[in-house]
Amino acid sequence: MVNSTTKPATGKLGVMVVGLGAVSTTFMTGVFMTRKGLAKPIGSMTQYDKIRVGRGADKKYLHLKDIVSMPTLDDIVFAAWDVYPVNAYESAINAEVLKEKDIEPVKDELIAIKPMKAAFDKKYASRLDGDNVKQCADRWDMTNQIREDIRNFKAESGVDRVVVLWAASTEIYVAPDMKYHGSIEALEAAMKANDTDHIAPSMCYAYAALTEGAPFIMGAPNTTVDIPAMWELAEKTRMPIAGKDFKTGQTLVKSGFAPIIGVRNLGLAGWFSTNILGNRDGLVLDEPANFRTKEVSKLSTLETILKPECQPDLYTDYFHKVRINYYPPRNDNKEGWDNIDIFGWMGYPMQIKINFLCRDSILAAPLCLDLVLLIDLARRAGRYGTQRFLSFFLKSPMHDYTVGEEPVNNLYQQYTMLKNAVREMAGYEADEEID
């Protein structure tokens, strides 16, 4: 390690997860199984990737933990909130993502994770009807109750630092509205006035996390921290934030494949993406208002990779459509189809078809681990506000849309941003240009 000013990862890292469903329990089970040497954390950048540091004769490819101080998986202590009262073991069994043989060896660890009462409002996810829910006088009270949960967890578990990760259901779409979301004062006033139309429960979790000194990650496409009030709060509390929406299956493929069309200067007439999905996430997303949140997130990917304003002959008016269909027999084993209509020399049309038979939570779990460890690294490195280097893991990366800032969606550019941020936090020079 060179001249890094990043604080070492001493003590335990508390990971408080909102939602104890398929993704969270797959994440937790994998961490526990890996600790026991019974599984491998495949797909996790923080556990596998080697990053080049130094140049020329001095260059070395090193694991993250050999570049900068990182917590080990043994250092993680979990807690969770959920609308349903079942513990992480029962929830993992119910989710049917993992086989029992991959859950049983860590049954005790999972049983010990009992969800705290959720800060929930049925209006935001009408298909859920659990009763493990906080009674709140208003949104301000909701926020204060979550703050108390965080303080209690810290005191009881003795963890050194906490990160809060949203892996709960997608809420209905909340359009950013500066009257309520434009500043901390406006947000607090809306919370105190119990403005349930503009203050989603997820905003209460984020506000509580930041004010209790915990970075916040939004793994669903919810608006939550993607508003000026939360950016301001993250600056004020000097906490890093990241979002939105884990980039796992179809959008990962899209953000990796679209650059092929772009760098070859091929034209795009249309891109149709559809999915079948049968888990609880699929059930919630079957509700049009909840799907709208996901649609906004999924649609944003192509616009910044294949830009009409840069190449009007190639990318003007392409038709981009995304669909998710709830289909119970498939449970978590999502199947995605992409039909891409492209055109080449003299405008001749061609088609590309991609059929991805994936497993949603298997793809999301390593992202949870990476996001949690990297946002903790960012905090230890003294970074705060939106962490753009985490865009690599996110479908709809946060950016300052109020000043026309563009998100980076191209997977390879995102990877460069990620490596450079790690180099800088480790005390090396960032040395790859994003072009």
Ligand X SMILES: NC(=O)c1ccc[n+]([C@@H]2O[C@H](COP(=O)([O-])OP(=O)(O)OC[C@H]3O[C@@H](n4cnc5c(N)ncnc54)[C@H](O)[C@@H]3O)[C@@H](O)[C@H]2O)c1
How near is the Cβ of 121 to ligand X at its closest, in Å? 7
Residues interacting with ligand X, by CB under 6 A? Answer: 18-24, 81-84, 95, 118-120, 125, 128, 130, 167-170, 201, 219-220, 245-246, 248-249, 279-281, 360-361, 363-364
- Per-residue CA distances from 167 to 80, 205, 206, 369 (Å): 10, 12, 13, 12
Cα–Cα distance measured from residue 352 to residue 335, given in angstroms and rounded to the nearest whole number: 17
Closest by CA position to 82, among listed 171, 6, 169: 169
- Per-residue CA distances from 311 to 303, 305, 340 (Å): 12, 11, 18
How near is the Cβ of 17 to ligand X at its closest, in Å? 9
How near is the Cβ of 328 to ligand X at its closest, in Å? 13
Which are the contacts of 205, defined by CB distance < 8 A and separation ≥ 6? 18, 81, 119, 146, 164, 166, 216, 224
Q: Which helix (H) or strand (E) holds 161?
A: strand 161-166
How near is the Cβ of 333 to ligand X at its closest, in Å? 11
Cα–Cα distance measured from residue 185 to residue 234, given in angstroms and rounded to the nearest whole number: 14
Three-class secondary structure of residue 168 per DSSP: coil
> For the chain, give me the number of helices (H) and strands (E)?
16, 13
Q: How far separated are the first and last CA of the chain, in Å rounded? A: 28
Closer to ligand X at the Cβ: 230 or 314?
A: 230
Closer to ligand X at the Cβ: 94 or 157?
A: 94
How near is the Cβ of 152 to ligand X at its closest, in Å? 16
How near is the Cβ of 324 to ligand X at its closest, in Å? 9
Closer to ligand X at the Cβ: 266 or 299?
A: 299
How near is the Cβ of 202 to ligand X at its closest, in Å? 7
Cα–Cα distance measured from residue 322 to residue 300, given in angstroms and rounded to the nearest whole number: 11
- Per-residue CA distances from 409 to 51, 257, 391 (Å): 21, 11, 7
Closer to ligand X at the Cβ: 281 or 335?
A: 281
Phi, psi of 289 (to 5 degrees): -70, -35
Phi, psi of 108 (to 5 degrees): -60, -45
How near is the Cβ of 339 to ligand X at its closest, in Å? 21
Cα–Cα distance measured from residue 39 to residue 65, given in angstroms and rounded to the nearest whole number: 19
How near is the Cβ of 351 to ligand X at its closest, in Å? 26
The backbone region for 45, taken as left when phi is positive above 0, alpha when psi lies in -120 to 50, beta otherwise, is alpha
Query: Tell me, what amino acid is at 325?
Result: N
How near is the Cβ of 410 to ligand X at its closest, in Å? 19
CB of 79 closer than 8 Å to CB of 16 = yes
Closer to ligand X at the Cβ: 118 or 159?
A: 118
Closer to ligand X at the Cβ: 34 or 251?
A: 251
